[in-house]
Amino acid sequence: MKTTILAYVIALGGVAMIVFGLWGLYILITERVAELRLRDYVPTIQSIAVGLVLIGLAQALRLSLVIFDWLVPLSSIAPKEF
C-alpha cells in the first residue's frame, strides 16, 4: 500500500513538472523580445521531459507491484494475526 501511494506521489510530481514547464514555455513565448535563442527554451523543455520521466517511473513502479503480486501474492508475505 505504501509503495502504491509513493507511485501516485511520483506521478503527481511529474504532472506538476509538466505544468510548470508549460507555464514557463507560455511565459517565454508571450515575452516581447526581439529574438529568442534555442538555449532560452532549454530549461522549459527540460522540465517537461523530467515530468514525463517521473510519470514513466511511477508507471514502472506500479507495474512492478502488479508483477510482484502476481508472482508472490502479498497475502503470503503479510504477518499472520492472532
78 in any annotated domain: no
Q: Is residue 76 part of a domain?
A: no
Q: How far apart are CA 77 and CA 43, in angstroms?
A: 45
Residue 67 in grid coordinates: 508483477
Among 12-16, 34-38, 52-56, 71-75, where is mean pLDDT lowest? 71-75
pLDDT tens, residue by residue, 29-54: 898 888 888 898 999 999 999 999 99
Number of residues assigned to the chain: 82
Enclosing H/E stretch for 11: helix 2-30
Report yes or no on 79 lying in a domain: no
Q: Which domain holds residue 35?
A: 2-71
Q: Does the residue 40 lie in any domain?
A: yes
Residue 49 lies in a domain: yes
What does the longest C-alpha to C-alpha distance in the chain come to?
74
pTM for this entry? 0.77
Residue partners of 63: CB distance under 8 A and separation at least 6: none
Query: Domain tally for the chain?
Result: 1
| Cβ-contact 58, 11 below 8 angstroms | yes
Q: Examine residue 19 and state whether it is found in any structural domain, yes or no.
A: yes
